[in-house]
Amino acid sequence: MNLTYLILLPLFTAALVLLARNASQVKVISLLGSVAQLILSVGLYVAYRKEMVAGNTAQMFFEADYKWFPAWNIGFHIGVDGISVAMILLTAFVVVAGVLVSWNVSKMTKEFYFLLILLSLGAYGFFISLDLFVLFFFLEIAVIPKYLLIGVWGSGKKEYSANKLALMLMGGSALVLVGLLGLYFSYAGHSFDLMKLSSIHIPIQIQKICFPLLFVGFGVFTAIFPFHTWVPDGHSSAPTAGSMFLAGISMKLGGYGCLRVATFLMPDAAKEYATIIIILSSIAIIYGAFATMMQKDLKYINAYSSVSHCGFVLLGIGMLTQTALTGAVMQMVSHGLMTALFFAVIGMIYERTHTRMVQEMGGLLKVMPFIATTLFIVGLCSLGLPGLSGFVAEMTIFVGSWSHPDNFHRIATIIACMSIVVTAVYILRAIGQTAMGPLKEEYSTLTDAKWNEKAAVIVLLAGILAIGIAPGWLNDLVRPATEIITQKIGAVK
């Protein structure tokens, strides 16, 4: 399978969107393009699975290396392993749902959809890159559309939020860039190539400097404490699809980078700094959960809960065991789907009630059973109900974390476990006040979801259920990849 299709197809879709003559053409093109991309991604999974069953033990499948800037040893080197395939699948699901949910955007429709497709292009490129320069290039492609999406189509104090988000993510990117350059020069003959860099032992002094730069840099994307404050503002000001992409895709870029670049290339430093990572992520988990409890705006609730849930990703990485790392990847996929669905539902509710304040709603189950039921399901997924994806990911992280016998890791795990209770509190508060309770007079004429909204919900729910009911496929997909990373960590003396 040729991986370049994964970025050529969105490129093609984006070009067609620009050429489209009216808004409905734009929407149809985007939908067709994103559905085609979803089919392609599922095809990638099937092809990958076939190779795996056939006994292919290569680290990266479908590798290709095109020359780009030979003078600087930069090549367009691409390839995927189980982690990348999982992230690509996630992206494809979220993009289709995002396109569907945005059907009512009437302001500059063409530009809006163009930016959505461009953002997805950045994500796909990011997940298949094996050259760090290319990876960085796609990372930046994924950042800039967000600024515009929030700044132009956002709501509330959107300029402030857009600036904050762009500046903080750019700050993160700057750290990443410095770290990448450090790695580049550490290789004899200079290289950005991930596979080449992984084959050598990067000197410990360089690791000690580059690891924090890269981990924190990528960490900003995935809301590492205390650089998570762009999340609530960014999400609450973004348009619905913007929030979905931001939480469902962008935050995953960071987690993926922390794992693939920082931890994989620099296992010595990862071990050295694991304690700090675990402390910061434990804080994020429980602190994010408590902060969520006090929020009144649905989007703030989901944004803070994302801080807490993404803490699980970093905790899994910090634990450095194979099971915990697998759990971290699962949590990325699970959280991506779940939080995208959550934002989609919030968007649907907001479009009807024109408020996101929980105390101003009530009894919505009566007038919009489909939307309210979805809110129930996604809330239950968030609090880790078995049968939905959150349970699988969180339990994998807990079991993986618990295999460290010392008290420090135990306490961190217990803190993480405690958050599931706090999560139940804030989720039930939110659901209880919006979907349940007496219906307010002014909402009695509201209507339920339309076809595009139902379709978006079904797409994301399919993903959530596919993981929640039969997690084996995702586990089998991710485990071989995390095994290689843990082997590298295990080799550290």
Partner 1 sequence: MPNVIYILLIPILPFAAFLLLGLFGRKYIKNGAGIIGTLCMLIAAALALYIAYGYFFDYGKLDGVYRKIIPLKYNWLEFSPGISIDMGIVLDPISVMMLVVVTFISLMVHIYSLGYIKGEERFPTYYAFLGLFTFSMLGLVISTNIFQMYFFWELVGVSSFLLIGYYYDKPSAVAACKKAFIVTRFADLGFLIGILVLSYYGGTLDFNELIQRLASPESNEFKTAIASSFLGLSAITWGTVLVFIGGAGKSAMFPLHIWLPDAMEGPTPVSALIHAATMVVAGVFLVARLFPVFAISAPEALNLVGYVGAVSALFAAVIACTQTDIKRVLAYSTMSQIGYMMFALGVSGYGGEEGLGYTASMFHLFTHAMFKALLFLGAGAVIHYVHSNDMKDMGGLRKFMPVTHITFLIACLAIAGVPPFAGFFSKEEILLAAYQHNTSIYWIALITSGLTAFYMFRLYFNIFWNKEHHAHGEHHGEGGFVMMMPLILLAIGAAGAGFIHFGEFVSSDGAPLASVFHLQFSIAPVALGFAGILVAWILYKKQNDKPDKIAASVKSLYIAAYHKFYIDELYLFITKKILFNLIGRPVAWIDRHIVDGLMNAIGDLTRGIAELIKGFQSGKVQQYALYFLCGAVGLLLLFIYIWH
Nearer to partner 1, 266 or 392 (CB): 392
Nearer to partner 1, 141 or 397 (CB): 397
Rounded least distance, CB 161 to partner 1, Å? 12
Instruction: Write b or e for each residue in 93-132: b if 16 or more Cβ atoms lie within 10 A of its Cβ, otherwise e.
Output: bbbbbbbbbbbebeeebbbbbbbbbbbbbbbbbbbbbbbb
CA distances from 284 to 317, 326, 392, 416 (A): 14, 20, 20, 10
Nearer to partner 1, 181 or 428 (CB): 428
CB-based contact 310:303 (threshold 8 Å): no
The single-letter code of the amino acid at 130 is L
Rounded least distance, CB 471 to partner 1, Å? 5
Q: Locate tokens 């990373």: which residue?
A: 485
Nearer to partner 1, 11 or 417 (CB): 417
Nearer to partner 1, 93 or 225 (CB): 225
Nearer to partner 1, 55 or 405 (CB): 405
Rounded least distance, CB 47 to partner 1, Å? 24
CB-based contact 357:297 (threshold 8 Å): yes
Rounded least distance, CB 299 to partner 1, Å? 15
- What are phi and psi for residue 355, nearest 5 degrees? -145, 155
Which helix (H) or strand (E) element contains residue 63?
strand 61-69
The single-letter code of the amino acid at 397 is I
* Coil, helix or strand at residue 74: strand
Rounded least distance, CB 49 to partner 1, Å? 17
CB-based contact 68:75 (threshold 8 Å): yes
Nearer to partner 1, 146 or 228 (CB): 228
Q: Strand pairing partners for 66?
A: 76
Q: What is the largest CA-CA distance in the chain?
A: 72
Helix axis angle, 389-402 relative to 322-353, nearest 10°? 150
Nearer to partner 1, 129 or 389 (CB): 389
Residues 6+ apart with CB under 8 A from 91: 41, 120, 123, 124, 127, 248, 249, 252, 336
Rounded least distance, CB 107 to partner 1, Å? 28
Residues 6+ apart with CB under 8 A from 442: none
Instruction: Write b or e for each residue in 378-388: b if 16 or more Cβ atoms lie within 10 A of its Cβ, otherwise e.
Output: bbbbbbbbeeb
Nearer to partner 1, 113 or 391 (CB): 391
Rounded least distance, CB 455 to partner 1, Å? 16
Helix axis angle, 230-237 relative to 132-153, nearest 10°? 50
* Coil, helix or strand at residue 426: helix
CB-based contact 83:326 (threshold 8 Å): no
Rounded least distance, CB 361 to partner 1, Å? 13
User: Which residues of the chain form contacts with partner 1 (CB under 8 A)?
Assistant: 164, 167-168, 225-230, 287, 290-291, 293-295, 304, 322-323, 363, 365-366, 369, 380, 383-387, 391-392, 395-396, 398-400, 402-403, 405, 413-414, 417-418, 420-421, 424-425, 428-429, 432, 435-439, 470-472, 475
Rounded least distance, CB 81 to partner 1, Å? 19
Nearer to partner 1, 385 or 492 (CB): 385
Rounded least distance, CB 469 to partner 1, Å? 9
